[in-house]
């Protein structure tokens, strides 16, 4: 079955469910029944179905890209690589583990990565995503950014707590500003699938230059597999069998090394914060194609 036929079939079979994220008001208004899916092959060709060209708030999907921009030995001195087993905005483990977040994809860990990149991190990410997607029109959704900043007390608490342990190098307000803006970038499934292809190419960008060496790409993919879907990473690996990173905007990016990158979008979330329709679509995709890292 050709990829376009496969994506069309999945779009007709997938069952939306769950509810849109309600703790960020700008996200709560999005219709949970919407759905899009795009598959980008190594040559950049995209097969899509549903609303695969509709932009949405990428939220924590951004953390996969900022990790790729920041990854290195020095970073791993400040953040771990283990699943947390706790909600993505939990404060509990930080106290018992001396201000070192479990992994770079929970909020505390992503704040450390943003701090590591420093002032201008969100603009650096935006340039990278525009270049990789081939879409210079990608930008920050200012309404979402304001909504998230106005309701960001938990993230402020996480950042100040880590600062008390010496694990913040920049002022907390600067880090929060950059973090909120990177999460509030709006992209489509097509844009995101193209942008994630460097992980399918073992670190090589769309222009042929290398962002990561083979080991670096392997490590980013590994952390995505074990930590990329909040505290449901085991269930995601069991059902889908691919490295993936989700966001509470309803998107999930997944990588098939050596083959393609996939992005699905369904704003209805399950209790763990992952897209119900998105996980279902990816489960169907790997089942029908047999493509998996296992």
Q: Dump the DSSP string for 211-272.
A: SS-HHHHHHHHHHHHHHTTGGGHHHHHHHT-S-EEE-TTSEEEEEETTTEEEEEE---B-TT
If you write DSSP's letter for every residue of 192-212 in order, what string do you get? HHHHTHHHHTTTB-TTS-BSS
Closest residue by Cα to residue 183 from 276, 251, 280, 233: 251
Asked if residues 231 and 84 have their Cβ atoms less than 8 Å apart, the reply is yes
C-alpha 193/C-alpha 190 separation (Å) is 5
Tokens 């307000």, located at residue:
173
Please name which of 212, 206, 208 lies closest in space to residue 224, comparing C-alpha atoms. Answer: 212
> pLDDT tens track of the chain, all 294 residues?
699 999 999 999 998 899 998 878 888 889 999 999 999 999 989 999 999 999 999 999 999 999 999 998 899 999 999 998 777 777 888 888 899 999 999 999 999 999 999 999 999 999 999 999 999 999 999 999 998 888 889 999 999 999 999 999 999 999 999 999 999 999 999 999 999 999 999 999 999 999 999 999 999 999 999 999 988 999 999 999 999 999 999 999 999 999 999 999 999 999 999 999 999 999 999 999 999 999
pTM: 0.96
CA 95 to chain centre: 26
CA distance 254 to 248: 15
Return the active site residues: 60, 63, 179, 230, 248
User: Going edge to edge, which strands form the sheet with 139-140?
Assistant: 56-57, 185-187, 139-140
77 with 71: CB under 8 angstroms?
no
Residues paired with 253 in a beta bridge: 245, 263
Q: How far apart are CA 126 and CA 205, in angstroms?
A: 15
């Amino acid at each position: 079955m050709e990829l376009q036929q496969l994506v069309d079939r999945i779009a007709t079979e997938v069952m939306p469910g769950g509810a849109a994220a309600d703790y960020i008001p700008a996200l709560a208004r999005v219709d949970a029944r919407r759905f899009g899916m795009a598959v980008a092959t190594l040559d950049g060709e995209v097969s899509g179905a549903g609303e695969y060209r509709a932009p949405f708030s990428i939220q924590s999907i951004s953390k996969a890209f900022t990790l790729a921009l920041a990854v290195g030995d020095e970073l791993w001195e400040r953040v771990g690589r283990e699943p947390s087993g706790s909600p993505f905005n939990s404060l509990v483990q930080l106290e018992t583990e001396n201000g070192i977040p479990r992994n770079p994809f929970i909020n505390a860990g992503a704040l450390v990565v943003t701090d590591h990149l420093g002032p201008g991190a969100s603009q650096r990410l935006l340039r990278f995503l525009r270049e990789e997607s081939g879409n210079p029109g990608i930008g920050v959704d200012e309404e979402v950014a304001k909504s998230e900043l106005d309701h960001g007390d938990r993230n402020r608490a996480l950042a100040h707590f880590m600062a008390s342990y010496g694990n913040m190098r920049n002022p907390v307000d600067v880090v929060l500003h950059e973090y909120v803006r990177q999460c509030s970038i709006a992209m489509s499934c097509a844009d995101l699938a193209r942008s994630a292809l460097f992980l399918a190419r073992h670190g090589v960008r769309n222009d042929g230059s290398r962002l990561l060496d083979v080991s670096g790409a392997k490590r980013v993919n590994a952390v995505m597999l074990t930590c990329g879907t909040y505290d449901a990473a085991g269930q995601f690996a069991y059902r889908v069998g691919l490295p993936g990173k989700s966001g509470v905007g309803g998107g999930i990016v997944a990588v098939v090394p050596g083959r393609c990158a996939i992005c699905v979008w369904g704003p209805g979330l399950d209790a763990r914060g992952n897209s119900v329709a998105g996980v279902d679509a990816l489960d169907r995709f790997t089942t029908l194609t047999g493509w998996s890292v296992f």
